[in-house]
Amino acid sequence: MEKITAIIPCFNEEVNIKSAIESCLFADEIIVVDSFSTDGTLEIIKSYPQVTLLQHEYEHSAAQKNWTIPQAKHDWIFLLDADETTNDTLIKEIKDTINSNPNEVAFWIGRQNYFMDQKLNHVWKGDAVIRLFRKSKCRYQDKHVHAEIEANGPIGRLKGKLAHDTYKGKGLEAHLIKGQRYTTWAALDRVKKIKRVTSYHLIVKPFFAFLKRYVLQLGFLDGKAGLVISSMGAWNVFIRNVKVWRMQEGETFQTKLHK
């Protein structure tokens, strides 16, 4: 029987960390890597004796994960963000998959998204992430934001889905602050790739970002939540490119930020 290590990165996740840990109790080893939380997160983690708690200064998501993964005892890694949860069907599929001696070294897992206490049926519908992989064959891209796994081998896809609620217990203000941080990181990833910021970056790209989510992905059928997501997505593209322009002009932004 193959063994598996579950890894949960977190920072100030007292609302979500319990359900995340409970989602990983099927694993042979559970590692929670905390970025020096200041709320009640640590007390909750310490209430689970089977959980190994590590603390490490947060640079960005990929760096945090790449620091933690080599410390796992087992080759198969299941990585879960603190605002995600599994279910019995997905857990069984994970176990069956790794015990079948698959040729694949990593697997995409779809996500059922929730936002503002609402299940999203249209916008973000195709969302998927690589969360099951062999540490000996995989590593996260060296990117500040939206880094994905680089796999030395074939990648498969599981049928089950994670539940993902990026809004739960945090509210609008926290979500806006998160957007501020992510646009800075995204600008850092693009500042050397974009030669000159033009009206295309400041008008056309934000417009099509809204159009993609609200119209093409049928976000309008998700009501107010779909409208908010589409509008915030367009704003994030706009402000990201403004930051690229300002960085190219020599302006600096705070980068030592939590996730």
Query: Is a pLDDT exceeding 80 seen at residue 186?
Result: yes
Name residue 43's amino acid. Answer: E
Query: What are the pLDDT digits (tens) for 93-125?
Result: 999 999 999 999 999 999 999 999 999 999 998
pLDDT of 256 strictly over 80 = no
- Residue 61 structure tokens: 């998501």
41 and 144 housed in the same domain: yes
Q: Name the token pair of 226.
A: 């779909």
Q: Are residues 155 and 55 in the same domain?
A: yes
Percent with pLDDT over 90 in the chain: 85
Are residues 59 and 146 both part of a single domain? yes
Residue ending a domain, choose from 112, 131, 165: 165
Q: What's the chain's average pLDDT?
A: 94
The span from the CA of 6 to the CA of 133, in Å, is 11
Q: Are residues 42 and 126 in the same domain?
A: yes
* Residue 59: per-residue pLDDT: 86
Q: For residue 54, what are the β-bridge partners?
A: 33
pLDDT at site 36: 95
**SS3 state at 81:** coil
- 103 C-beta neighbours (distance < 10 Å), count: 8
Read off the CATH number of the domain in which 154 is found: 3.90.550.10
pLDDT of residue 259: 47
Same domain, 151 and 195: no
Look at residue 163 in the predicted model and tell me its pLDDT. 97
Q: Are residues 147 and 186 in the same domain?
A: no
Given 165, 197, 227, the domain boundary residue is: 165
Domain-terminating residue out of 165, 200, 228: 165
Same domain, 129 and 60: yes
Q: What is the pLDDT of residue 133?
A: 98
Q: Is the pLDDT of residue 206 over 50?
A: yes
pLDDT for 120-139, tens place per residue? Answer: 999 998 899 999 999 999 99
Q: What is the DSSP string of 134-184?
A: ETTTEEE-S-SSS--EEESS-EEEEEEEEEEESSTTTHHHHHHHHHHHHHH
Q: Which residues form the domain of 41?
A: 4-165
> Looking at the structure, do residues 147 and 222 belong to the same domain, yes or no?
no
Residue 235, pLDDT > 70, answer yes
For residue 169, what pLDDT is reported?
Answer: 80
Least confident residue range of 5-19, 115-129, 140-154 = 140-154
**What global pTM score does this model have?**
0.90
Q: Which among 105, 81, 85, 107 has a CA at the least distance from the CA of 7?
A: 81
Confidence class for position 66, pLDDT limits 50, 70, 90: very high
> Is residue 259 in a domain?
no
User: What whole-number percentage of the chain has pLDDT above 70?
Assistant: 98
CA distances, 57 to each of 89, 132, 181, 185, 243 (Å): 35, 24, 16, 16, 25
Residues 121 and 153 placed together within one structural domain of the fold: yes
Number of domains in the chain: 2
User: Do residues 148 and 65 share a domain?
Assistant: yes
Distance in angstroms (rounded) separating the CA atoms of residues 241 and 247: 10
Could you read off the pLDDT of 27-60 as tens digits, one per residue? 999 999 999 999 999 999 999 999 999 999 998 8
Q: Give the contacts of 172 (CB within 8 A, at least 6 positions apart).
A: none
pLDDT for 1 equals 85
Rounded to the nearest 10 degrees, how much is the dihedral formed by the CA atoms of 180, 181, 182, 183?
Answer: 50
